[in-house]
Amino acid sequence: MERIYFDYAATSPVHPEVIEVVHDAMINHFGNASSIHHLGRDSRRMMDNAKKVFADSIGAKPNEIVLTSGGTESDNTAIIETAFAREKEGKHIVTTVIEHHAVLKPMDYLEKLGFEITYLSVDKYGMIDLEVLKEALREDTILVSIMYGNNEVGSLSAIKSIGEIIVESVSTAYFHTDAVQAYGLESIDVKKESIDLLSTSSHKISGPKGIGFLYINEAIHLPSFMLGGEQEMKRRAGTENIPAIVGFQKAVEIAQLTKESRRNEYDSFSHRLIQRLNDQKVDFEINGHPDSRLKHIINIWFKGVSSEKLLLLMDLSGLAISAGSACTAGNIDPSHVLIAMYGKESQRVKESVRISFGIDTTMKSIDYLVTELIKLTNKLKK
Ligand SMILES: Cc1ncc(COP(=O)(O)O)c(C=O)c1O
């Protein structure tokens, strides 16, 4: 049986060219980047080159890049360290109800410590109301954390407008955005979009797992989340993982070079999928914003079809897709994103699946996917 992967938003296979550079670095560049001898200097040079690539990819400077273990650590650092560093200026933070748990859980934590969190709701497209954001900003607002693109339904936030609203507001809030899903596919410019803090993760763009970066505007000083050595200009303690860093660099270089072609390709995958479902008169609707959305994610409500059952049958057909936001010990939790968009009583919450594309997706695999979707949704339909 053929096995085809359609869950790139969860994680992605490592690109063959990335594997090559990781392999080479593991053998030939094992020095500790803090060591003074030639092996240490070699690792530092490689790390500095990588940081230049990361910085250029978002319009930042290399000294504004802090290497982390990925999206979760970047989000946690941005949120918790901002709160601790600025609590004397204010204890109010603004975020949205559809953030990833790597943002929502730190918010819960801070709330228990006495911070006040305003959660902005979203409409049926997964978009916040910019007027409500304006009204939420106060003199004591120290941080706004709004994701660049949603990991479940793909809706893209109006990042530039949000940045402008924050700059023009009475607050001096830092603007953090979780760009874990958008990085590598969207054109991000932190200066033009007034972003102060931005989280990325390598494993979403066919780089190695356990590596990412947090962009921190050079005007901002945040203490290290990890306590220990003085790496990363005292902003992130711990010996740097050179093979993972250069692997991530390679993944970013490939993503930059192929961005436009992948965007067009993913668009044509979505169109084909939708067209064939329509041709076969499948009863479905797309969740999320129709235009302003990440190209690699498509979230579909198959009316009257349990997403859990569909996912299991698809798996038996060799197709890996996703339903709900998290899978804990085999249970699919109802998605907090779909609940926020449609209400917890909506059938969509139980009947939607996420399909996501990446480096190995082809039109042929899309055709197989749709054929199975048509067959299995017909079989499962109540
Ligand atoms: C939007 C978003 N933020 C954060 C994360 C966490 O990133 P990581 O797995 O690198 O810790 C993910 C991963 O699913 C994500 O999709």
327 is catalytic: yes
CA-closest residue to ligand 1 atom 15: 180
User: Per residue in 7-45, pLDDT tens?
Assistant: 999 999 999 999 999 999 999 999 999 999 999 999 999
Residues 6+ apart with CB under 8 A from 16: none
In the reported structure, the alpha carbon of residue 78 is separated from the centroid of ligand 1 by a whole-number distance in angstroms of 14
- pLDDT, residue 333, reads 80
On the 0-12 / 13-18 / 19+ scale of CB atoms within 10 A, 1 is: exposed
Q: What is the mean pLDDT of each run of 10 residues along the chain (382 residues)?
A: 92 98 97 95 98 98 98 98 98 98 98 98 98 98 98 98 98 98 98 98 98 98 92 93 98 98 98 97 96 97 96 96 65 88 96 97 97 96 79
Question: H or E segment at 95?
Answer: strand 92-96
Q: Pick from 100, 156, 209, 354 the residue to mutate for probing ligand 1's pocket: most ligand atoms within 8 Å of its CB.
A: 100
- pLDDT, residue 324, reads 64
Q: Pick from 11, 96, 181 the residue to mutate for probing ligand 1's pocket: most ligand atoms within 8 Å of its CB.
A: 181
- Would you tell me how many other CB atoms lie within 10 Å of the CB of residue 116? 14
- pLDDT, residue 329, reads 47
- pLDDT, residue 257, reads 98
Question: H or E segment at 216?
Answer: strand 212-216
Q: Which amino acid is at 358?
A: G
Cα–Cα distance measured from residue 284 to residue 36, given in angstroms and rounded to the nearest whole number: 61
* CB-defined site of ligand 1, < 6 Å: 70-72, 75, 100, 102, 147, 151, 178, 180-181, 201, 203, 212
Residues in the chain: 382
Question: Helix, strand, or coil here: 4?
Answer: strand
- pLDDT, residue 120, reads 98
- pLDDT, residue 215, reads 98
**Nearest atom within ligand 1 for CA of residue 72:** 11
Concatenate the DSSP letters of all residues of 331-353 into one string.
EEPPPHHHHHHH-TT-GGGTSEE
Angle of CA points 288, 198, 267, to nearest 5°: 35
Residues 6+ apart with CB under 8 A from 162: 130, 133, 144, 146, 175
In the reported structure, the alpha carbon of residue 380 is separated from the centroid of ligand 1 by a whole-number distance in angstroms of 31
- pLDDT, residue 263, reads 98
Radius of gyration of the chain (CA): 21
Cα–Cα distance measured from residue 288 to residue 126, given in angstroms and rounded to the nearest whole number: 6
Domains of the chain: 4-12+258-380 (3.90.1150.10), 16-253 (3.40.640.10)
| Candidate list 327, 343, 363, 367, residue with the active-site label | 327
- pLDDT, residue 375, reads 97
Concatenate the DSSP letters of all residues of 246-302 into one string.
HHHHHHHHHHHHHHHHHHHHHHHHHHHHHHHHHHTT--EEEES-SSSB-TTEEEEEE
- Would you tell me how many other CB atoms lie within 10 Å of the CB of residue 89? 14
